[in-house]
Amino acid sequence: MLAARSPSRTLKEIELIETAGGPLGAELSLQIVEAANERLAPEGSLLLYTGAAIVDGLDPFESEVEKRLAKFGSGVLLPRN
C-alpha cells in the first residue's frame, strides 16, 4: 500500500498550481496516481488524500483517474458515501 497527500503549499505555489495544475488544479494528484500505478505490486493499493472538487454533483477527478488507469489495464475503487 502507498499513502500520499499533496504537500502543504505557500500561496505562490497554490497560484502556480491553479494556473498550471490542469483542470481544477488536480494534475499533481493525477500524476501521483500514475506514478503509484507504476510502482504498486499487483493487488496493491493507493490511499490518496485530496480535496478534489465536485462540480454539479459530478467528480471530474474520479472520472480522470478511471480514464488514466484504464490505459494501464488497472482498476480503481473509490470509497462512496
* Domain limits, the chain: 2-70
pLDDT tens for the chain, residues 1 to 81: 666 666 666 666 666 655 556 666 688 888 888 888 888 888 788 888 777 778 888 888 888 888 888 887 776 666 655
CA atoms within 13 A on the CB side of 72: 16
Secondary structure (3-state) at 58: strand
Helix axes 27-39, 60-70, angle to 10 degrees: 30
pTM comes to: 0.66
Candidates 23, 26, 22; CA nearest to 6 is 26
